[in-house]
Amino acid sequence: KMKNVERKTPDWTNLVEFLQEICDHAKHLQLQQRHQLFVSLIKLGLFDVTCSILQDEDDSIRLKGMDVMMSTLQHDPSSLRSFLMQQENKENSTLLKTMIDTLML
Protein backbone atom coordinates (compact mmCIF):
# COMPACT_ATOMS: atom_id res chain seq x y z
CA LYS A 1 0.00 0.00 0.00
CA MET A 2 2.88 2.38 0.71
CA LYS A 3 3.92 2.37 -2.93
CA ASN A 4 0.52 3.81 -3.90
CA VAL A 5 0.30 6.57 -1.28
CA GLU A 6 1.55 10.06 -2.04
CA ARG A 7 4.17 11.57 0.21
CA LYS A 8 3.30 14.59 2.33
CA THR A 9 -0.08 13.13 3.24
CA PRO A 10 -1.22 11.97 6.66
CA ASP A 11 -1.65 8.45 5.25
CA TRP A 12 2.04 8.35 4.24
CA THR A 13 3.12 9.45 7.71
CA ASN A 14 0.83 6.91 9.39
CA LEU A 15 2.11 4.08 7.19
CA VAL A 16 5.74 4.99 7.90
CA GLU A 17 5.01 5.04 11.63
CA PHE A 18 3.22 1.69 11.34
CA LEU A 19 6.19 0.14 9.54
CA GLN A 20 8.52 1.47 12.21
CA GLU A 21 6.32 -0.02 14.94
CA ILE A 22 6.20 -3.40 13.20
CA CYS A 23 9.99 -3.48 13.05
CA ASP A 24 10.26 -2.35 16.65
CA HIS A 25 7.85 -5.03 17.88
CA ALA A 26 9.68 -7.66 15.82
CA LYS A 27 12.59 -7.37 18.25
CA HIS A 28 10.43 -9.08 20.86
CA LEU A 29 9.51 -12.06 18.68
CA GLN A 30 11.26 -15.39 18.81
CA LEU A 31 13.99 -15.82 16.23
CA GLN A 32 11.97 -17.99 13.81
CA GLN A 33 8.92 -15.69 13.81
CA ARG A 34 11.13 -12.60 13.47
CA HIS A 35 12.91 -14.17 10.52
CA GLN A 36 9.61 -15.03 8.83
CA LEU A 37 8.33 -11.49 9.37
CA PHE A 38 11.39 -9.84 7.84
CA VAL A 39 11.47 -12.29 4.92
CA SER A 40 7.83 -11.45 4.21
CA LEU A 41 8.45 -7.70 4.49
CA ILE A 42 11.46 -7.93 2.17
CA LYS A 43 9.46 -9.92 -0.40
CA LEU A 44 6.79 -7.21 -0.25
CA GLY A 45 9.37 -4.54 -1.08
CA LEU A 46 10.65 -3.34 2.29
CA PHE A 47 13.90 -2.00 0.86
CA ASP A 48 12.23 -0.12 -1.99
CA VAL A 49 9.81 1.47 0.46
CA THR A 50 12.64 2.31 2.84
CA CYS A 51 14.47 4.01 -0.02
CA SER A 52 11.39 6.18 -0.62
CA ILE A 53 11.13 6.95 3.08
CA LEU A 54 14.77 8.03 3.23
CA GLN A 55 14.18 10.44 0.34
CA ASP A 56 11.39 12.25 2.19
CA GLU A 57 11.91 15.93 2.96
CA ASP A 58 10.70 15.58 6.57
CA ASP A 59 13.54 14.83 8.98
CA SER A 60 11.31 12.86 11.36
CA ILE A 61 10.16 10.60 8.52
CA ARG A 62 13.75 9.99 7.42
CA LEU A 63 14.70 9.16 11.01
CA LYS A 64 11.90 6.59 11.14
CA GLY A 65 13.20 5.14 7.88
CA MET A 66 16.68 4.80 9.37
CA ASP A 67 15.12 3.07 12.38
CA VAL A 68 13.46 0.55 10.04
CA MET A 69 16.79 0.06 8.27
CA MET A 70 18.61 -0.51 11.58
CA SER A 71 16.02 -3.08 12.65
CA THR A 72 16.56 -4.93 9.40
CA LEU A 73 20.33 -4.78 9.78
CA GLN A 74 20.20 -6.09 13.33
CA HIS A 75 18.14 -9.04 12.18
CA ASP A 76 19.75 -10.03 8.89
CA PRO A 77 22.45 -7.87 7.28
CA SER A 78 22.90 -10.37 4.44
CA SER A 79 19.45 -9.60 3.02
CA LEU A 80 20.35 -5.91 2.73
CA ARG A 81 23.72 -6.81 1.23
CA SER A 82 22.02 -8.99 -1.39
CA PHE A 83 19.56 -6.22 -2.24
CA LEU A 84 22.38 -3.68 -2.62
CA MET A 85 24.28 -6.03 -4.91
CA GLN A 86 21.20 -6.42 -7.10
CA GLN A 87 20.96 -2.64 -7.36
CA GLU A 88 24.63 -2.26 -8.25
CA ASN A 89 23.93 -1.68 -11.95
CA LYS A 90 21.34 1.04 -11.35
CA GLU A 91 22.75 4.55 -11.31
CA ASN A 92 20.44 6.99 -9.55
CA SER A 93 17.91 5.40 -7.26
CA THR A 94 20.01 2.98 -5.28
CA LEU A 95 19.36 2.43 -1.62
CA LEU A 96 23.06 2.76 -0.81
CA LYS A 97 23.24 6.21 -2.41
CA THR A 98 20.08 7.24 -0.57
CA MET A 99 21.46 6.01 2.75
CA ILE A 100 24.71 7.90 2.22
CA ASP A 101 22.84 11.07 1.27
CA THR A 102 20.64 10.72 4.35
CA LEU A 103 23.62 10.32 6.66
CA MET A 104 25.40 13.29 5.11
CA LEU A 105 22.54 15.67 5.94
Closest to 66 in 3D by CA, of 11, 8, 38, 24: 24
pLDDT at 93: 60
Burial class of 55 by CB neighbour count within 10 A (0 to 12, 13 to 18, 19+): middle
Query: Exposed (0-12), middle (13-18) or buried (19+): which is 78, by Cβ within 10 Å?
Result: exposed
pLDDT (tens place) for every residue of the chain, 105 residues total: 666 777 778 888 999 999 999 999 999 999 999 999 999 999 999 998 998 898 888 989 999 999 999 999 898 899 988 888 887 766 666 788 888 887 776
Contacts of 9-14 spanning 24+ positions with Cβ under 8 A = 12/61, 13/58, 13/61
- The pTM (predicted TM-score) of the whole model is 0.81
Task: State the pLDDT at residue 91.
Answer: 61
Q: What is the pLDDT of residue 92?
A: 60
